[in-house]
A and B are shown apart, each in its own frame.
Chain A
Amino acid sequence: MAKRSFKNSALPTILTYLGLAIGLVFSTFPIVWMLFSSLKSNTEIFALPPRLLPKDFTLAAYLTIFNDPVKVRFFINSYFVAGVVTCLTLVIAILTAYGFSRYSFRFKNTLNIFIISTQTVPPITLLIPYFGMVVAFRIFDTYLALILTYMVFTLPYAVLLMTGYLNTLPKELDEAVLVDGGSSWTALWRVIVPVSIPGIVATAVYTFLLAWNEFLFALTLTKSMDLRTVPIGIQLLMGQHAFEWNEMMAMSVLGSLPLLVLYLVAQRYFLAGMTAGSVKS
């Protein structure tokens, strides 16, 4: 009997903690290693035996980045492009989601399938005609080319997340405005949008993440260093500076920072939005 109660309580608990500890190392060790490598000198990075904590703690890698206008520009570009894409995507997605969640209309199902299937179109397939179109319209190597093309993959997610969120709001909310003689436009912006802030935050964070991380279009549709975003900047540095690892790691930390901050601040909304999107969409 004693043996059995041990088996029922203590052992599974120990195994669960063990599993969680293994999971913690698996998921965070590479990130922690990156963080501490960015604080090491370049010679210390491959020191033997390897040490996690830097022996000579230095911010040299970060200072080099902040003092290099070319690298600072990568960050400005990324913030600008991702910011504009997020704002435009949100406005269009809120309108579409409202249409989807409050009305039934002809072609609704077709349109819904179209939007769902746009999630799965390979970027590489679109890249070749985009290159042709962007050159033909003379917007090659401009912010406009990036902002416009990013919308094609931020918009479907934003619409699905927002529609999922609006579907959870009771129809009485906006019907009250309609009954009082108000238009649906008023109902949307005065009633629906204010109560949808959690859904909007989740959608905004996810949209920003997608735009911030985009690589393929940024690589191909821009050419000048003035327009390069962080992922491309890191790729270029990797080729040019033949592995100044501490600087690469510092760039990576700085390049991940906005997403980490957004995620930690908004993770409650974000997780709720994501699970709603992936479970129900």
Chain B
Amino acid sequence: MNHSAPALVAAQVKAPGKRRLRYSTLRKLVPYFYVSPATLLLVLLMLFPMVMVFKYSLMDGAIMKKDAAFAGVQNYLTIFENPVFWQSVGQTMYFTIMSVVFHFIIGLAFALLLNTNRVDPLIRSILRVLFILPWLFTAVIIAIIWRLLLDPNGVVNSVLMALHIINFKVEWFSSTRTAIHALTFANIWAGYPLYMVSLLAGLQGISKELYEAAGIDGANELEKFWYITIPQLMPIIISIALLDFIWTMQVFPLVWMTTGGGPIYSTEVLSTFTYKLAFSQYEFSLASASAMIILIISMSVTYFYIKHQQRR
């Protein structure tokens, strides 16, 4: 760094005046050249569609009618009057909060287990690879694996009955009482590895000296965990949990492939509610209003996420 910077200046100074001028104007444009393809594509595929969906949400009969009329906030009012919408909001929040909490607990537990030096390093590195596997499976496949396992005649019921935990075959995905919990469980299984990977990296970044100093002060393992590990991991925990909250709130394929929102709306979430409005009932204007509501919730959490990222 130290000798290349003066060398660069020297090269510029030596260059003839005309070339230096062209060089400096071009130089200002260079970064824009590099970032423009991504910027253009994202504007075209992100900002423009967002304007469109907002416009649709204020119209009556968007996409379906050639001369759709302006309807103001009528679509939003219609959505708010729909009891299934509010039920979906509640179920989305239950699904999301339970997922985020258990993703964190399981991810942290696995990261701590993999971080100790009590276990043979080879076993640790093999398990580290295996514990991430659920993350690689697509939602459709996760859905059918759990439909097989949680089938009334499936292995989970067999095991639970053999252990006398239940005494009849539970229809996990087709009973209004259990479907949302079965769905949440499948999502918890699928999503903890992101926390595990990030927290493991975080754990390895904590200075050993902190623990040694605490040990000298007489702190026990629990106190070290609570007063060193958790505060040191906090920035990572907040980032991942905010992202996970946003992503889980938008989840679609897992719900679509396990329960489709049923039985009797008992697993309807905001994304399936919106999807059905658009592509089963062809109510694109209502669906756009519903999609805007999801966007507003996501963006308000994103605001905190970005604030948090910039403070770090």
Contacts and interface: CB of A to CB of B under 8 A. Distances in A.
**A and B assemble together:** yes
Contact of B1 (A108, A135, A159, A172): A172
Contacts of B250: 122-124
B133 interface: yes
A184 B34 CA distance: 10
A128 B278 contact: yes
Nearest to A181: B11
Interface in B13-58: 28, 30-35, 37-39, 41-42, 45-46, 48-50, 52-53, 56
Given A50-B158, A92-B37, A114 B113 contact: no
B129 A103 contact: no
Contact of B141 (A23, A98, A252): A252
Interface in A45-74: 45-46, 48-50
B106 to A, nearest CB: 8
A234 B141 contact: yes
Contacts of A179: 4, 7-8, 11
Contact of B52 (A108, A111, A133, A149): A133
Interface in B148-166: 148-149, 151, 153-155, 158-159, 162
B226 interface: no
A124 B189 contact: no
Q: Is the interface of B mostly helix, strand, loop or mixed?
A: helix
B189 to A, nearest CB: 7
**Interface size class for chain A?**
35 or more
A203 to B, nearest CB: 13
A87 interface: no
Given A128-B56, A278-B240, A235 B116 contact: no
B287 interface: yes
A19 B124 CA distance: 12
A132 B194 CA distance: 34
A255 interface: yes
Contacts of A256: 136-138, 141
B118 interface: yes
A118 B274 contact: no
Q: Which of A121, A179, A181, A213 has the most CB of B within 10 A?
A: A121
A193 interface: no
Interface string A118-145: 1111111111111111010000000000
A275 B197 contact: yes
A34 interface: yes
A152 B130 CA distance: 30
A31 B8 contact: no
A245 interface: yes
A32 to B, nearest CB: 10
Interface string B229-257: 00000001001100100110110110011
Contacts, number: 282
Given A17-B119, A175-B4, A275-B198, A31 B38 contact: no
B95 interface: no
A245 B294 CA distance: 35
A194 interface: no
B130 A24 contact: yes
B274 A124 contact: yes
Contacts of B249: 122
B174 interface: no
A92 B41 contact: yes
A200 interface: no
Given A133-B49, A260-B136, A96 B291 contact: no
Contacts of A45: 148
11 contacts: A13-B119, A31-B145, A103-B34, A116-B306, A118-B42, A119-B243, A124-B250, A148-B45, A255-B138, A275-B198, A278-B194
Closest 8 interchain pairs by CB? A99-B34, A103-B31, A275-B201, A129-B49, A129-B52, A213-B138, A215-B253, A99-B35
